Structure 1
Amino acid sequence: MKRIALILACLMIVFACGYANENGANKQGNEITVITSFYPMYVATINITDGVDGVKVVNMTAPQTGCLHDYQLTTKDMSLIETADVMVINGGGMESFMDKVLKQHPKLKLIDASKDIPLLADNPHLWVSVSNEILQVKNIAKQLSEIDPGHSSQYEKNCAVYVEKLEKLKKGMHEKLDGYAGRKIITFHEAFPYFAKEFNLEIAAVIDREPGTEPTPKELEETIGIIRSSGIKAIFTEPQYSAGAANTISTETGAKIYELNPGVTGEALPTAKDDYIKLMEKNADTLVKAFSLH
């Protein structure tokens, strides 16, 4: 009898300590750990999971990482992935490391925010368009509801609340920018084609054509030539990159430098829920200022 009692006591301790999920992570009750690949996915996901008990959202990459072009997974990243039930990615080719992740963790549930959204020349920067951000938010909510149906009504409600905010943002931005349709802009890298399409702007040139590398002298010369021939008076840099090349172009052409933010960096905190809305409003105001002065 003592032996049976001891076995029962051990079993009770095991169940009290939680269970191991499909990836081997220890869980308490029905807690679900959702990891996001980088900051834009984090902001969208915390809006969808806001107030949902037992759902924890963690951003995998450091909040200042920026776009995941050629990103290499770290040991810390892989350790975090081992604790996850669900991973939210932008998709569209942004997370080139996912083949490795899924090979090592075949039972990890994957949410692709780019599902069924047409790409422009294989460009993955979908979220920089408010319209696409709305589609991505809906994608995340739908796929998360399928994975975790017990909380589907909460996900759907949160999704509706956030989409309403994004629709309001979109309307306000169009009111500010529609009067400048057809304007040509020089951007720092290939983050803004979807934004330009949504607001009928034309990207005349891109300064940093290969992310993370300085433009060649020939590329600089070509961009300078475009600015001089077109009469463009503004260059738009990004806070995530050095403005060295832009400063050179500005010196040569007299074009003034402004800053547009693709929203790939920030503080990964619960209070970041409105970060996307704030930065897009600021982008619209920056464009209005640049266009109205030139």
Structure 2
Amino acid sequence: MTHNKSTFYLDLVSGVSSITQPLLWFFQVDGRDNPKLVSVQFERYPVHCGRFSTDGSELLVGSRNHPHFYSYDLMDGKITKINANQGLDQTHTKLFEMSPCGRYVALLGRWGAVHLLTARTKEWVSTLQMTGNVASLSFSSNGSHLYTYGETGEVWVWDIASRSCIHRFADEGSFGGECVAVSPSGRFIACGSQAGIVNLYERDEAFRPAIDGCSRPSPAYTIGNLTTPITSLLFDPTSELLVLASEHKAEAIRIAHLPSRSVYCNFPGFNSKLNKTLCMDISPHGGYLTVGDNKGNANLFRLVFVLLY
């Protein structure tokens, strides 16, 4: 069977560093030479999370070893230390997300807390409290809702305007959530569990009324190609492709084509020599996919024509 759409994949900036002299590299991706533009050094600050601001002028980075951020201004090259521990009992900045609307930063806290900060000043706005530890965060495409997923196997949906949980649903068969992602179209919600299973839900099904406070929708599609905990989920801009990966095993990355409910058997390919996937991203127009691994490589892929077998 042939998929007749010319798609995709990712471009991303990725840095590999030592503990004492962490570096972040910026590349211009052209699919051929991919020249390095600049490298940025953070003194004794291993980077575990990085997000661009909506307008692309700032890169915010966090670490599981420190309670503060660093901000890098792409216009003037200035590095600024930002303290995120102002009365929050925060010990790390290992996971956070920028809202697509450009107004907020959602920072993973301790004991089920998610802290909302302003994107401009990084000042605390509110704390959302979920039952159980939170493992993953994902904003809706317009930034009006935040999805949190954690050890209870439930997805909590938060209304950002009212700072309240407006819905909860259980991920079928999950005894511990690892990763959640919402498609750009808003149609799909993907949940990855500790067992390596990815359940894909239609939004309307996931949001059906809850009888006991937590609805139990049936997944539209279940992907069981991986056997270790899912640590990364990523939709492409068209919401037709879902990339899933686990950092616990080499070559544990797959790409699913959602309209046909199929997983591409030719990716990563026989003897690809891909290492453990630590991070990945897709370019804004879906032309490039980059995969950062535990050996310090940023692997860049481009698919011009995709075949489903």
Higher relative contact order (CA 8 A, sep 6+): 1
TM over 0.5: no
More helix by percentage: 1
Bigger Rg over Cα: 1
Q: Give TM-score scaled by structure 1 length.
A: 0.26
Query: Normalized against structure 2, the TM-score is what?
Result: 0.25
Which structure carries more strand by proportion? 2
